[in-house]
């Protein structure tokens, strides 16, 4: 069966510091991968999606970037964090039926 | 443009009573519709989906949803609510104009509170 991992689970970072969040998927090949941000425990904002290695599409121009160095690895990065980057970051993968499956999330607090 | 709406911020129901969480959509063509549940500080869990076929879709944890094309709705239902059903529920529709990539458009979420 397929599983999706995210780490770290929680992170507290100062403003201006770099960020790297990692997501890996097991048990499937060539998945579509997604990064979302959820603010204030409500709506989801799609940040990036990827249909293959090195293929990244950005939904919202912002202080973040994404990379996909391997088929089942998706990384969210920032060179300098802003206060507004705080939130709950969710990684997801999708199968051929368009169903998305989410990881456990990373709670990021920028101080 | 594709969109999905969840008209209620919160739904309150007593344990043992039936529950309904509402969702309406606006898409061109036939919709692919999904329901997800999120418990505090956790990722979203897939509950059920409608792609084609029977209008009544059964999913995980005793939930079901009814697709109504004339009312453009996809309400989530459960005959008897449990306190453990208390969570945040998201409706989603596939974005048909995403250039072949399967993106989902999510509603704003409805918080379900089941009281003992």
- For the segment B16-29, the average pLDDT, to the nearest whole number, is 94
Give the SS3 label for residue A69. Answer: strand
pLDDT at B28 over 90: no
Residue whose pair of structure tokens reads 């090195």 in the numeric block: A54
Total CB pairs under 8 A between chain A and B: 53
Residue-wise pLDDT for B45-69, tens only, equals: 999 999 988 999 999 999 999 999 9
- CA of residue A58 relative to chain centroid, distance: 12
Q: Is residue B16 very low, low, confident or very high in pLDDT (cuts 50, 70, 90)?
A: very high
Q: Is residue B78 very low, low, confident or very high in pLDDT (cuts 50, 70, 90)?
A: very high
| Beta partners for residue A32, in sequence order | A94
Integer Cα distance of A75 and A6 in angstroms:
10
Q: Which chain A residue lies closest to B110 (C-alpha atoms)?
A: A42
Spell out the alpha helix ranges (H) of chain B.
none
Rounded to the nearest integer, the mean pLDDT of chain A is 93
Q: Is residue A60 very low, low, confident or very high in pLDDT (cuts 50, 70, 90)?
A: confident
Residue whose pair of structure tokens reads 């043992």 in the numeric block: B16
Q: Which of A43, A101, A104 sits opposite B108 (nearest CB)?
A: A43
Instruction: Decide if A1 touches B, using CB distance below 8 A.
Output: no
- For the segment A10-23, the average pLDDT, to the nearest whole number, is 97
- CB contacts, 8 Å: B49 with chain A: 97, 99
Residue-wise pLDDT for B84-100, tens only, equals: 999 999 999 988 766 66
């Amino acid at each position: 069966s397929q599983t999706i991992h995210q780490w770290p689970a929680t992170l507290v970072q100062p403003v201006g510091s770099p960020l790297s969040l990692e997501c890996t998927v097991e048990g499937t090949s060539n998945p579509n991968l997604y990064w979302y941000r959820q603010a204030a425990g409500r709506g989801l904002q799609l940040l990036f999606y990827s249909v293959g290695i090195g293929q990244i599409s950005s939904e919202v121009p912002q202080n973040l970037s994404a990379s996909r160095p391997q088929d089942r690895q998706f990384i969210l990065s920032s060179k300098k964090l802003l206060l507004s980057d705080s939130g709950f970051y969710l990684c997801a993968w999708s199968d051929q039926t368009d169903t998305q499956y989410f990881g456990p999330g990373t709670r990021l607090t920028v101080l | 443009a594709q969109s999905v709406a969840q008209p209620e911020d919160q739904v309150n129901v007593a344990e043992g009573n039936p529950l309904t969480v509402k969702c309406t959509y606006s898409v061109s063509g036939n919709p692919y519709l999904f329901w997800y549940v999120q418990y505090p500080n956790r990722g979203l869990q897939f509950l059920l989906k409608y792609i084609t076929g029977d209008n009544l879709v059964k999913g995980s944890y005793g939930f079901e949803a009814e697709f109504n094309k004339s009312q453009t709705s996809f309400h989530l239902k459960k005959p008897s609510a449990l306190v453990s059903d208390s969570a945040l529920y998201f409706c989603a529709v596939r974005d048909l104009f995403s250039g072949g990539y399967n993106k989902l458009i999510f509603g704003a979420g409805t918080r379900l509170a089941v009281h003992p």
